[in-house]
Amino acid sequence: MYIIVVGGGKVGFYLTKSLLSEGHEVLLIERDSIKVENYVEQLGAVVVDGDGSEAATLGNAGAARADVVIAVTGEDEDNLVIAQVAKKRFNVPKTIARVNNPKNERLFRMLGIDVTVSQTNYIFNLIEQSIPNMSFVHLLSLSHEAMTIVDAKIGAESRAANKPVSALGLPEDCILAAVIRGSDLMIPKPDTVLLPGDDVIALSHRRSEASLQAVLGS
């Protein structure tokens, strides 16, 4: 695959390195010519100097034959324009943009960016998952913006504790996908009884997340 990475901060540099080691053809575009010289010494002639939001730079970089363009600068507005120019001018099949302000994820999707990556959200979710007191954790938003995966920990006080799945009164547009009990993974059936300490993984429509939390949370 031919992949163009725009933005040579730490994310862009290590991303380029990993993609190269997986055998992809990669080009990194960075504005700061001193950084570029440094990177060329470390990575070889796969780094060029330029403004990736300029169509001419992307054109010279061979965007027209690129399979993926990844915009990972520190500025959301730059990442948006890089990905849009790649998509609209060069018909790049897949564009990925880093989002620094999590609120911009929705906007980027509305504006045609295929995949958004929000470090802020990732770190926030990791923190949520590693704090044991959080009984209901949003694990992942999928490419369809309405679909979410959540992890609910059943507490002793939880209304769902010691009840079979069929008696929970789950909201309509959600399903319980898995129950993790100690080291066992179970796929719940209607008669599976939830016990305190269970981790329940559910797939849900975003609009039902709150009612699901009311049923499963403590």
Partner 1 sequence: MKVVVMGCGRLGARVASVLDANGHDVSVIDTQSRAFRRLAPEFGGQTIIGTAIDEDTLKAAGIESAGAFVAATNGDNRNIMASQVCLKIFKVPRVVCRIYDPVREETYRRLGLSTVCPTTLISAQILDQVLSPADGTGRAED
Q: Residue 1: which of 34, 27, 31, 25 has the closest Cα?
A: 25
Tell me the two tokens of residue 89.
Answer: 């001018």
List phi, psi (to 5°) of 45.
Answer: -80, 55
Cβ-based nearer residue to partner 1, 111 or 126 = 111
173 near partner 1, rule: CB under 8 A: no
10 near partner 1, rule: CB under 8 A: no
- Dist. CA 7–CA 91, nearest whole Å: 20
**Interface residues for partner 1 in 37-56 (CB under 8 A)?**
53-56
60 near partner 1, rule: CB under 8 A: no
**Interface residues for partner 1 in 176-205 (CB under 8 A)?**
none
Cβ-based nearer residue to partner 1, 85 or 96 = 85
Question: Is the torsion defined by CA of 47, 52, 55, 57 positive or negative?
Answer: negative
Side-chain half-sphere exposure of 198, counting CA atoms within 13 A: 27
62 near partner 1, rule: CB under 8 A: no
Binding site for partner 1 (CB under 8 A): 53-56, 75-78, 80-81, 84-85, 88-89, 101, 103-104, 107, 110-111
